Structure 1
Amino acid sequence: MLQIDAWKRWTIWLTVVVGLALALPNLFYTRVEQHNDAVKAIEAGADTSENRAAEALWPSYLPSGLVNLGLDLRGGAHLLAEVRVEEVYKSRMEALWPEVLRVLRAERDTVGTIRWNSAATDQGELRVRLVSNSDAMPRAIELVNALRQPVVSLTGAGTHDIEVSGEGDELVVRLSEAEKQATDDRTMQQSLEIIRRRIDEVGTREPTIQRQGFNRILIQVPGIGSAAELKDIIGTTAQLTFQPVVGRTDNANEVAGAGNEVLPSAEDAGVYYILEQSAVVTGEELTNAQPSFDQNGRPAVSFTFNPGGARKFGDYTAANIGSPFAIVLDNEVISAPVIQSHIGGGSGIITGNFSVEESTNLAVLLRAGALPAGMDFLEERTIGPELGQDSIEAGKLATGVAFVAVLGFMLASYGLFGVFANIALILNVALMFGLLSMIGATLTLPGIAGIVLTVGMAVDANVLIFERIREELRTAKGPARAIELGYEKALSAIVDANITTFITAMILYVMGSGPVRGFAVTLGFGIITSVFTAIFVTRLLIVTWFERRRPKTIEV
């Protein structure tokens, strides 16, 4: 029997209405974009009459999500940077030298005279020449091995950060391969975090910042003037400070008092800290921060200051045991630990209920005051907004031509049933934009190609169904039975064809990057919406028409 339950009909139409509502803001792109920018500005505290007027351009009760325009459509800057990760090895060795010197000097009578080959740090090695008898080397290796720390990474479990050996009269200290890999990952993660924070501060929309390969970073920022401007933004130094904590509140407008300020917590939404404005030490005095483990084997973060910072930090912690102090990055409190004891020597440890990943991220934030290593820009491109507008117009033209051709073909081939398929095709594109708007996806020129391809593919399912109905009509079955069998017998072919295409889209998304991902996203969403509209929407339209007209015969 050709029928659809009432609850199924309501579900189908409700899904269509929600999809159309999500896609609606894209028809008023400029107004909604100004509304969204004004809302963000007001939430940030810029409650001006201009922002209120811009906020009123779009009703607050309607969805306001947009399909963001990518670099090739809006214009902007493109950079491909290579991070010189080897520079970090040298700094690690230079930071290790004072500790090695300390433990060797403690037993100078055993190890003899110590001479340091500073040039070896360029290759990530620390070479110390021991001028003494031959029995000194084993003892020196034993002493330096005591400085080893476990590698803090999931892949380096059970290994140590340094390897110590003797070559003739030279004591050689190298970073282990596991530590090099962990250091490379941390360096890239830190670089990504710093770049992202710098770019987010200038308020650009939907930047693409992602790691490519071993040591490269792809940076695409729509709406920015030039690649040179983007490089200037990336080079800005983050502001890191260590400040005394006066109190804690949930009121952003709390009166802080003279010499104090109120800053939000980066970890807990709605929590604010009252801090003294004068910092104890700043990020400029921080030389290193690494994930580590405390005495109980729990993940923690260790940090080191330069001599000036170490003296100031030591004096402050000695006088304020039991009091909290705040670690502030870009005017946000990222952590507020309690001082447990005097922290002298310029180094300390931050403990808490951390996972390995959380301790690594906190170390990244602590080091985010400056890029960890230099970067070489391998590729620079500036795309003007005029070229982006040309791409949009070309995309509109291509999509329009595809629409007209497909709509005309379906109408000429299947008559009234072709009209139903065309209605479903229009809804299909609208639902696809609704999905893209809901997740805040970025539309690129390859993404437009995916939409055009979806328009061509969307009617495939309807063609399979209508041809199957034609075959059933030739067997002298009634029209209701022919329609029902047409949908039932074509379903397996439709599902098979679209599942294989969807798997291809997933592979493109996982393995690809940039434009390939943009194409994969629109193709994948297009497959989902086209299957929904072909199997459910067109069937509902045909059943509704059939119930009202009750034709004795039908022409497909």
Structure 2
Amino acid sequence: MLHFSRWKTLLIWLAAFAAIVLAAPNLLSEVQRSSLPGWLQQDRLTLGLDLQGGSHIVLKVERSDIVKDRLEEAVANVRNTLRGAGIRYTGLTGNDQTVTVRITDPAETQKAVDLLKPLTAPGGRAGPEVALRQDEDGQLSLQISDAGITADVASARTRSLDIVARRIAGFGHANFLVRPDGADRIVVQVLGSVDAERLKNLLNQPAKLSFHLIDASMSGQEALNGRWPATSQVLYSLDDPPVPYLVDRTAFVTGSNMVGIEPVVDPQTQDSSIAYRLDAEGTRRLAEVTGQNIGKHLAIVFDDQVMSSPAIDAAITGGEGAISANFSEDGVRDLAIMLRAGALPATLTSVEERSVSPRFGADSIFSGLIAGLVAAVLVAALMIALYRILGVIAVVSLVFNLILIVAVLSLAGATLTLPGIAGIVLIVGMAVDSNVLIYERIREEEKTAHSFAEAAGRGFSRAFSTIVDANVTIFIAAIILFCLGSESIRGFAVTLAVGILTTVITAFTLTRSIVAVWLRRRHPRHLPKSVLTHLFEHANIRFMGIRRYVFTASAIISLIAMAAFATAGLRLGIDFTGGSLIEVTAKQGNADLADLQARLNDLNLGEVSVERAGGPSNARIRIASQGGGENAEQSAATLVRGELQEDYDFRRVEVVGPAISGELTMMATLGVLAALAAILIYIWIRFEWQFAVGAIVATLHDVIIMLGLFVLTGMEFNLTSIAAVLTVVGYSLNDTVVIYDRMRENLKRYKKMPLPILIDASINQTLSRTILTAATTLLALLALYLFGGEVIRSFTFTMLFGVALGTFSSIYIAAPVLIVFRLRPESPDGEESNKTDAGVKSGTVV
């Protein structure tokens, strides 16, 4: 019997009210939200990059910069130590991670060793993890270990976080996120309208500014042709072509001494400069050095390039001045921002970029909302047509379920992405699965229960374990997807996981309480009838009678798919190969694909393809990996921007370097394997081993044929494809578990029934649930495919195909495998022995 006490009913409806309160702020504008209590203002969904526009950039600390700085520091420390002790030496050099020096007098070698040993101690002037080695010929070597460099890289990453944040804030953006990623990366996300190219330039450069003296002992060109003093170095100017200068290595003023920095643009000449003011220490040093070197030249060095070389006419004592900067107005502003924020300890290279225009994001939101609305209407209409008043109850539960999903995501401060919207739409189709399982179980229990109320109570109780088992598989897939790392895939995984949990909770709280009220007030004697109510009630299809033919056909198709995969291979997206994907919209008229192809071919970027994307004015450009490291990929995207920006707006830009693509490939592979292993282990624990084997075979069947689909259709295989495959695997196993659960129940009830007959009976008993759940899920996916937008169309198509494939494999692959592995040996009487189990009639347990 279904019974809910008043306090339980009150608690359920209080939870429903709380969910509405938490979800409601998402429908209000910023002005309306400002009048709400503070705790309620913050509990709302954050729109992801792909929905409100912005840039997601992954920066990597350049290890080579750290190695260079460590070598220069070590060489300087060795030089100063030996000179200070009066020890003569020769051949002091630094290469790779080794500093070598030869002591001229062998008798002083041991003394030199003793003096240099402190440099190897942790915290020593040359830093930790340094080994000192002495050769027989008097040569000493300081070897900086990989561990020492790695530690310095991690330290540089940590120091860079605040500097990057200050630069972005100085750029004028308030809605941004800067977070560490691993030991050597920084993830930057700036939302809204962003000039991605300018932002990357602002963040990439160390911006190390320093004042040096020009070494007048020889010209820069003479130094290049001969040998220059060890205390100096050759640096080039910012001119085109660059001019070499011989510059003293010692910096007497650095950017850290500057306390007032302002960009200045002469309104008449448009000449740009940086006005600065020095602190007391910088003022003292500048006055002292310039006073001692009148007639010589300063070298103002910016990131190892000579920005300016003014003559010293007199001592500079005021601590104020201006540096000529041959930059544009934006360039000089950016330079001022970098100098104010401080110098980075090393160059930050962009290894990944994903930029979206706000207009493109707004289009995605509109498409997602339309798809969700259409899906909800279609699913609601089908449920009401099937179950009448119980269908209405299911729709009410579905609406509350969606509100609860939004409330939970808002409470967690989750980020809603376009794949996340797709996940919610998918939940619209899958959420009614629990209601269908319960209602169909009630229909079966009606035949043996004394009253309909008793049948309803049994239906809810006996459907519980099946619903939990079925949804765990998809929940596991969602957890693994979350661990893959991509923001958009995480958004999908979070909404899917939350949707699964709220679906189960809603089915056994709200739905159950409403049904209990309906029973108490209306006293119905049976389930509401409709035209479709008994569509599968008397199904007695002999599925196993053709299992050999289906097995053979599936094996042939699988072999064809594997052969196509082995020969043609997948059309891998830039997530796995590296490269660039750029979507553009013509500012006027339609996009001319032939002209785009010709213009891009002239840039000599290697393999470039141009195709239509969603409309006549839109085009999608794919640029293959440049093969020259991370900077080569960014340079290619920069060239395309420069070539097309006059005629096209950039809707979406994705640039993936080789390091990121390699990691994504590894994560995707491990993610798929981990998901399959976790799901199958769960089935193994919950069922007998033959069931786990059947699930493995069915899963492999689905994965192989879906890969074949990608090969034969030429669709791009990327991270969203991985998400589609894993979701389909979870859905397919969801369906399989429902059938397995009924088979396990029948195995206990009919201990002498031949396995083929028992399997047929189990499939027929759950056929209505299988077909109805597939129908609602396909309706939701169809709405997503038609109205969800171009970005997720291939994802949705894969899901449509996969859901149909998963439904097929649950019946014709997962179930027959149990016969092959002899879950129950056939009785000597063969199929006739089912007469001893007079309880299965027309595929229904009675």
Judge same fold: TM > 0.5, yes or no: yes
Which of 228, 241, 246 lines up with 2:197 in the alignment? Answer: 228
Q: 1:552 to 1:380 in 2, by over 3 A?
A: closer
Q: 1:549 to 1:309 in 2, by over 3 A?
A: same
- Give the whole-Å Cα distance in 2 for the aligned partners of 1:202 and 1:469: 63
Q: CA deviation at 1:8?
A: 2.4
Instruction: Identify the residue that residue 27 of structure 2 maps to in structure 1.
Output: 27
Instruction: Identify the residue that residue 70 of structure 1 maps to in structure 2.
Output: 48
Q: 1:59 to 1:508 in 2, by over 3 A?
A: same
Instruction: Identify the residue that residue 113 of structure 1 maps to in structure 2.
Output: 88
- Give the whole-Å Cα distance in 1 for the aligned partners of 2:47 and 2:58: 20
Where 2:70 maps in the other structure, the secondary structure is helix
Q: CA deviation at 1:490?
A: 1.1
Q: CA deviation at 1:13?
A: 1.8
Q: Is the 8 A contact 1:424 1:533 kept in 2?
A: yes
Q: Is the 8 A contact 2:55 2:191 kept in 1?
A: yes
Q: Which moved more, 1:510-519 or 1:186-195?
A: 186-195
Q: CA deviation at 1:381?
A: 5.7
Instruction: Identify the residue that residue 65 of structure 2 maps to in structure 1.
Output: 87
Equivalent residue letter for 2:159: Q
Q: 1:207 to 1:492 in 2, by over 3 A?
A: farther
Where 1:461 maps in the other structure, the secondary structure is helix
CA deviation string 1:50-69 (max 9, x = no partner): xxxxx44x566854532111
Q: Is the 8 A contact 2:2 2:516 kept in 1?
A: yes
Query: 2:350 matched to 1:377?
Result: yes
Instruction: Identify the residue that residue 506 of structure 2 maps to in structure 1.
Output: 533
Where 2:446 maps in the other structure, the secondary structure is helix
Query: Aligned runs of 1:39-438 on 2, under 5 Å?
Result: 55-56=34-35, 58=36, 62-105=40-83, 108=86, 112-115=87-90, 117-118=92-93, 120=94, 123-133=96-106, 136-137=108-109, 139-150=111-122, 160-167=128-135, 168-200=137-169, 204=173, 207=176, 209=178, 215-231=184-200, 234=203, 284-285=256-257, 369-378=342-351, 382-438=355-411
Where 1:146 maps in the other structure, the secondary structure is helix
Q: Which moved more, 1:373-382 or 1:169-178?
A: 373-382
Which of 453, 466, 476 lines up with 1:493 in the alignment? Answer: 466
Q: 1:101 to 1:229 in 2, by over 3 A?
A: closer
Q: 1:432 to 1:213 in 2, by over 3 A?
A: same
- Give the whole-Å Cα distance in 2 for the aligned partners of 1:100 and 1:311: 28
Where 1:126 maps in the other structure, the secondary structure is strand
Which of 502, 509, 523 lines up with 2:482 in the alignment? Answer: 509
- Give the whole-Å Cα distance in 2 for the aligned partners of 1:150 and 1:527: 52
Q: 1:374 to 1:540 in 2, by over 3 A?
A: same
Instruction: Identify the residue that residue 450 of structure 1 maps to in structure 2.
Output: 423
* Structure possessing the higher radius of gyration over alpha carbons: 2
Instruction: Identify the residue that residue 295 of structure 1 maps to in structure 2.
Output: none
Equivalent residue letter for 1:147: L
Q: Which moved more, 1:192-201 or 1:71-80?
A: 192-201
Equivalent residue letter for 2:464: L
Instruction: Identify the residue that residue 311 of structure 2 maps to in structure 1.
Output: none
Equivalent residue letter for 1:91: D
CA deviation string 1:410-443 (max 9, x = no partner): 1122221111111111111111111222222221
- Give the whole-Å Cα distance in 2 for the aligned partners of 1:230 and 1:309: 30
Equivalent residue letter for 2:528: E
Which of 452, 465, 470 lines up with 2:443 in the alignment? Answer: 470
Q: 1:7 to 1:24 in 2, by over 3 A?
A: same
Where 1:552 maps in the other structure, the secondary structure is coil
Q: 1:506 to 1:428 in 2, by over 3 A?
A: same
Q: CA deviation at 1:23?
A: 0.6
Q: 1:478 to 1:139 in 2, by over 3 A?
A: farther
CA deviation string 1:288-320 (max 9, x = no partner): xxxxxxxxxxxxxxxxxx9957999xxxxxxxx
Equivalent residue letter for 1:496: D
- Give the whole-Å Cα distance in 2 for the aligned partners of 1:437 and 1:197: 28
Equivalent residue letter for 2:256: E
Equivalent residue letter for 2:193: I
After TM superposition, the runs of 4+ consecutive aligned structure 1 residues lying more than 6 A away are 235-239, 309-312
CA deviation string 1:136-157 (max 9, x = no partner): 55554444333334489xxxxx
- Give the whole-Å Cα distance in 1 for the aligned partners of 2:172 and 2:519: 54
- Give the whole-Å Cα distance in 1 for the aligned partners of 2:65 and 2:205: 20
- Give the whole-Å Cα distance in 2 for the aligned partners of 1:61 and 1:148: 54
Q: Is the 8 A contact 1:163 1:174 kept in 2?
A: yes
Q: Is the 8 A contact 2:25 2:41 kept in 1?
A: yes
Where 2:392 maps in the other structure, the secondary structure is helix
Q: Is the 8 A contact 1:83 1:373 kept in 2?
A: yes
Q: CA deviation at 1:127?
A: 2.3
Where 2:4 maps in the other structure, the secondary structure is coil
Task: Name the structure, 1 or 2, with higher relative contact order (CA <8 Å, separation 6+).
Answer: 1
Q: CA deviation at 1:178?
A: 1.9
CA deviation string 1:253-276 (max 9, x = no partner): xxxxxxxxxxxxxxxxxxxxxxxx
Q: CA deviation at 1:369?
A: 3.0
Structure 1 gap segments, 5+ residues each: 36-54, 153-158, 240-280, 287-305, 313-366
Aligned length, in residue pairs: 408
Q: CA deviation at 1:5?
A: 2.9
- Give the whole-Å Cα distance in 1 for the aligned partners of 2:179 and 2:39: 35
CA deviation string 1:82-118 (max 9, x = no partner): 431220122123234444345445655xxx4124634
Q: CA deviation at 1:208?
A: 5.1
Instruction: Identify the residue that residue 547 of structure 1 maps to in structure 2.
Output: 520
- Give the whole-Å Cα distance in 1 for the aligned partners of 2:368 and 2:108: 74
- Give the whole-Å Cα distance in 2 for the aligned partners of 1:369 and 1:191: 9
Q: Is the 8 A contact 1:428 1:533 kept in 2?
A: yes
Q: Is the 8 A contact 2:99 2:142 kept in 1?
A: yes
Q: Is the 8 A contact 1:410 1:421 kept in 2?
A: yes
Where 2:2 maps in the other structure, the secondary structure is coil
Q: CA deviation at 1:207?
A: 3.5
Q: 1:196 to 1:406 in 2, by over 3 A?
A: farther
- Give the whole-Å Cα distance in 1 for the aligned partners of 2:207 and 2:7: 56
- Give the whole-Å Cα distance in 2 for the aligned partners of 1:506 and 1:379: 24
Higher helix share: 2
Equivalent residue letter for 1:146: P
- Give the whole-Å Cα distance in 1 for the aligned partners of 2:392 and 2:476: 30
- Give the whole-Å Cα distance in 2 for the aligned partners of 1:68 and 1:205: 15
- Give the whole-Å Cα distance in 2 for the aligned partners of 1:124 and 1:72: 43
Q: Is the 8 A contact 2:61 2:153 kept in 1?
A: no
Where 2:483 maps in the other structure, the secondary structure is helix
Q: 1:141 to 1:530 in 2, by over 3 A?
A: farther
Query: 2:449 matched to 1:481?
Result: no
Q: CA deviation at 1:185?
A: 2.1
Where 2:346 maps in the other structure, the secondary structure is coil
Equivalent residue letter for 2:149: K
Q: Is the 8 A contact 2:75 2:92 kept in 1?
A: no
Instruction: Identify the residue that residue 3 of structure 2 maps to in structure 1.
Output: 3
TM-score using structure 2 length: 0.44
Structure 2 gap segments, 5+ residues each: 209-252, 259-278, 286-339, 530-846
Q: CA deviation at 1:9?
A: 2.2
CA deviation string 1:399-419 (max 9, x = no partner): 112111211221122221111
